[in-house]
């Protein structure tokens, strides 16, 4: 992989802050509330195969598997050390989860291999070009009628909050999020029915949940509906 072409933006651009990421998220982002709402929104069914992009500490990954034990859940992360910890945690919790090493913008999975893809607090860590690549890759690996579920920072409804967040979060290139451009990027990747489903106020600004669908169309271009729900 050409490392000059892709850039992953770590917490505040400082790699040493990675270890503080989970405690900070837990105390400032209403993590328990929004992740449980996200699990409900994903709506995993028996037999579904789901991918959790940049699974990190695997908290969400395990919640999803525990919610629907008859589904197949795969966690993806680019850090082998994190993945080793995740495998230990899953084994201790007694949940059967596969963990793959890879980046969201270069997925190591075949076309049309998942019913659901989840990206929680991932996109704001990616440059604009890699956001687009990650969304196109997600579209590629989803089955027709499959769904993408995102939890990330969104457009702010007050000018003052937007200014504050731009100051606090500028190192992570959150411009596209603050300006409400993410739904447009999702549509650009080929998704349909893109909608914001929930909104939370956090210490770092507005957190939104988004759902998008890979349309299930016939050869005549007519949408046939979601056959994977």
- Sheet strand arrangement including 192-202: 98-101, 72-77, 49-53, 114-120, 142-153, 205-213, 192-202
Number of H helices, E strands in the chain: 8, 7
Is residue 116 over pLDDT 90?
Answer: yes
In the three-class reduction of DSSP (H, G, I as helix; E, B as strand; rest coil), residue 38 is classed as helix
Structure confidence at residue 220 (pLDDT)? 37
Structure confidence at residue 124 (pLDDT)? 86
Quick count: other Cβ atoms within 10 Å of Cβ 225? 9
Gap between the Cα atoms of 28 and 102, Å rounded: 28
Structure confidence at residue 34 (pLDDT)? 84
pLDDT band at 170 (very low <50, low <70, confident <90, very high): very low
**For residue 127, is it left (φ>0), alpha (ψ between -120 and 50) or beta?**
beta
Among the listed residues 154, 146, 54, the one whose alpha carbon sits nearest the alpha carbon of residue 105: 54
Lowest pLDDT segment from 8-22, 29-43, 55-69, 184-198 = 8-22
pLDDT digits (tens, 9 = 90+) for 182-218: 999 999 999 999 999 998 877 667 889 999 999 876 3
In the three-class reduction of DSSP (H, G, I as helix; E, B as strand; rest coil), residue 205 is classed as strand
Average pLDDT over residues 27-34: 63
pLDDT digits (tens, 9 = 90+) for 59-91: 999 999 999 999 999 999 999 999 999 999 999
Structure confidence at residue 223 (pLDDT)? 47
Is 90 exposed, middle or buried, given 0-12, 13-18 or 19+ CB atoms closer than 10 A? buried
Beta bridge partners of residue 15, listed in sequence order: none
Q: With beta carbons less than 8 A apart as the criterion, state whether 175 and 153 touch.
A: no
Structure confidence at residue 13 (pLDDT)? 40
CATH for the 15-213 domain, from 3.40.50.300, 3.30.450.40, 3.40.50.150, 3.40.640.10: 3.40.50.150
């Amino acid at each position: 992989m050409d490392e000059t072409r892709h850039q992953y933006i770590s917490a505040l651009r400082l790699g040493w802050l990675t270890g503080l990421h989970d405690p900070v998220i837990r105390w400032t982002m209403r993590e328990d509330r929004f992740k449980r709402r996200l699990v409900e929104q994903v709506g995993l069914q028996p037999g579904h195969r789901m991918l959790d992009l940049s699974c990190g500490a695997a908290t969400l990954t395990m919640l999803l598997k525990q919610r629907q034990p008859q589904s197949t859940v795969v966690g993806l992360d680019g850090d082998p050390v994190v993945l080793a910890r995740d495998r230990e945690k899953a084994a201790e919790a007694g949940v059967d989860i596969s963990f793959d090493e890879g980046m969201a913008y270069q997925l190591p999975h075949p076309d049309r291999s998942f019913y659901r893809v989840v990206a929680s607090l991932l996109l704001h860590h990616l440059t604009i070009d890699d956001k687009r690549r990650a969304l196109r890759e997600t579209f590629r690996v989803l089955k027709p009628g499959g769904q993408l579920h995102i939890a990330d920072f969104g457009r702010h409804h007050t000018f003052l909050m937007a200014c504050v967040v731009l100051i606090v979060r500028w190192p992570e290139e959150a411009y596209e999020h603050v300006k409400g451009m993410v739904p447009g990027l999702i549509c650009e990747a080929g998704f349909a029915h893109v909608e914001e489903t929930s909104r939370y106020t956090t210490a770092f600004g507005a957190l939104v949940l988004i759902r998008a669908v890979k349309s299930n169309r016939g050869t005549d271009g007519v949408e046939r509906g979601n056959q994977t729900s």
